[in-house]
Amino acid sequence: MTRNEELFLRAQKTIPGGVNSPVRAFRSVGGAPRFFTRGEGARVWDADGKAYIDYVGSWGPLILGHADADTVRAVQQTAAKGLSFGAPTEGEIELAELLVQRVPSMDMVRLVSSGTEATMSAIRLARGFTGRDAIVKFEGCYHGHGDSLLVKAGSGLLTFGNPSSAGVPADLAQHTLVLDYNDAQGLRDAFAKHGKTIACVIVEPVAGNMNLIVPKPEFLAAMRELCTQHGAVLIFDEVMTGFRVGPASAQGLYGITPDLSTFGKVVGGGMPLGAFGGRRDIMEKIAPLGPVYQAGTLSGNPLSVAAGLVTLKKIAAPGFYEALAAKTKALVDGLAGAARQRGVKFSAQSVGGMFGMYFAATPPTSCAEVMASDKDAFNRYFHAMLDAGFYFAPSAFEAGFVSAAHSDADIAATVAAADAIFAAG
């Protein structure tokens, strides 16, 4: 038995499924998850001492790579002065100022401790602001594990959803309308029918939790127009795309101005931090200014804020995103080129520093198309790459991430390994 396997057996005795977040358990690809002991730059080491080039990056936060020296130093120096006060600190103002400066749609922002908290709070705020209950989400988009958001589509386009998790009251789920991603007409129909009751539309402006799906420009544009027309709040969930796809996030990339935005992952630089912000008139509805309650003992935690500040400053370096996007594109072009040469049905694409790989002839544009890709082929590829020392997300339905620490040689080695695997069939 490997050390990883031993640890996994031991973990399962006290932790449900052996993991503290389900997709880590390798359920969809099979085998024992790797327990990591160390990370540095683009690399991680598991409990058996095996090294991997990492394309998960803690599921997105680690845009500077593992154990970035400046980030680690800032956290250590901050920790030495106290871990938490439950009282305001100057760093929080600095981070809020940086966020509203980088993301022009935000006049005000509040810090929380996770992406889930940010989206839950943004939804409550949208409901409180509009006095309406219904929310619109898109099938396959993940917005954290808040009750109203754990809902998948029923059969028809305009069906109100059923919960996709036990423990979510049907009474609550019935307020969530689930539509197809990239379907502007479906959205128009939903507003025509339910426009007066819709508090908000929440969307991943580049979908990254059903593998990666690029938004059609008319889809995002229709969303903006319909929300304005019907007095609904448009929420861009940029927990994954925030500062990952460009310096002003996906809203900057596509030129759409949401009313509220949510952040997590990159903004915390690897520490637990989330944020939600937007229009002043909406944000002023939050306690203590307004009637919408939201709070957190560890919100704006000094260590998380310190890591976020360093990260946001470093990614503002000239050329940072050009280099990151070029490297990510080199990876997907290399993989797709190798697959084409070897006659493997595979495609890949990237947006900034995130990418998708599909065992399908062309990149999917909807959840249904993602579901139709060859999952068994992905699982074989995943394990072959893992054995070869390349760590990708253990699911065919997740996006991948490249960091500034990945070198051209890392990318070339990854493409060469994939080529060998494609050649072997």
Active-site amino acid positions: 142, 237, 265
Residue 257's CB: how many other CB atoms inside 10 A?
16
Which lies closer to ligand PLP via its Cβ, residue 315 or residue 336? Answer: 315
Touching ligand PLP, residues 198-217 (CB under 6 A): 204, 208-209
Applying CB under 6 A, among 65, 115, 252, 269 the residue interacting with ligand PLP is: 115
Choose between 209 and 328: whose C-beta lies nearer to ligand PLP: 209
Asked if 398 is part of the footprint of ligand PLP (rule: CB under 6 A), the reply reads no
Distances (CA, A) of 59 to 27, 38, 44, 369, 391: 17, 16, 14, 23, 12
DSSP state for residue 66 in the 8-state scheme: B
Among 66, 102, 110, 143, binds ligand PLP (CB under 6 A): 143
CA dist 75 to 67, 91, 250, 295, Å? 11, 12, 28, 24
Stretch that binds ligand PLP, among 112-120, 162-170, 247-255, 414-422 (CB under 6 A): 112-120
The residue within the footprint of ligand PLP, chosen from 71, 116, 311, 328 (CB under 6 A), is 116
Does residue 106 come out as left (phi exceeding 0), alpha (psi in the -120 to 50 range) or beta?
beta
Rounding to the nearest 10 degrees, give the CA dihedral for residues 270, 240, 105, 101: 30
Closest C-alpha to 158, from 140, 181, 130, 180: 180
From the list 183, 237, 259, 398, which residue makes contact with ligand PLP (rule: CB under 6 A)? 237
How many residues touch ligand PLP under the rule CB under 6 A: the total is 15
User: Of the ranges 9-17, 66-74, 86-94, 138-146, which one interacts with ligand PLP (CB under 6 A)?
Assistant: 138-146
Which helix (H) or strand (E) segment holds residue 349: the answer is strand 347-351
Task: For 105-160, list the strands marked E by DSSP.
Answer: 108-112, 134-138, 151-152
DSSP output for 230-298: HTPEEEEE-TTTTTTSSTTHHHHHHT---SEEEE-GGGGTTSS-EEEEE-HHHHTTBTTTSSB----TT
Binding segment (CB under 6 A) for ligand PLP, from list 108-116, 194-202, 281-289, 298-306: 108-116
Strand-pair category, 176-179 with 134-138: parallel
* 356 forms part of the interface with ligand PLP (CB under 6 A): no
- Closest residue to ligand PLP: CB criterion: 115
CB of 141 to ligand PLP, least distance (A): 7
- Least Cβ distance, residue 208 to ligand PLP (angstroms): 6
Alpha-carbon gap, residue 256 to 221, rounded angstroms? 7
Q: Rounded to an integer, what is the distance from CA 170 to the centroid of its chain? A: 26
Q: Which is nearer to ligand PLP, 23 or 47 (CB)?
A: 23
Letter for the amino acid at 344? Answer: V
Instruction: Give the shortest CB-54-to-ligand PLP separation in angstroms.
Output: 17
Binding mask 256-295 for ligand PLP (x = CB under 6 A): --------x---------x---------------------
Cβ-based nearer residue to ligand PLP, 91 or 115? 115
Instruction: Find the binder of ligand PLP among 71, 89, 119, 373 (CB under 6 A).
Output: 119
Question: Residue type at 168?
Answer: V
By CB under 6 A, is residue 394 in contact with ligand PLP? Answer: no
**Closer CB to ligand PLP, 71 or 241, in the complex:** 241
Closest distance to ligand PLP from the beta carbon of 239 (Å): 4
Residue among 121 and 373 whose Cβ is closer to ligand PLP:
121
**144 is a contact residue toward ligand PLP (CB under 6 A):** yes
d(CA 53, CA 30): 20
Whose structure tokens read 């996007």?
325
Cα distances (angstroms) measured from residue 107 to each of 66, 99, 183, 253: 32, 9, 30, 19
Stretch of 115-123, 179-187, 303-311, 318-326 contacting ligand PLP, by CB under 6 A: 115-123
- List residues binding ligand PLP (CB under 6 A): 114-116, 119, 142-144, 204, 208-209, 237, 239-240, 264, 274
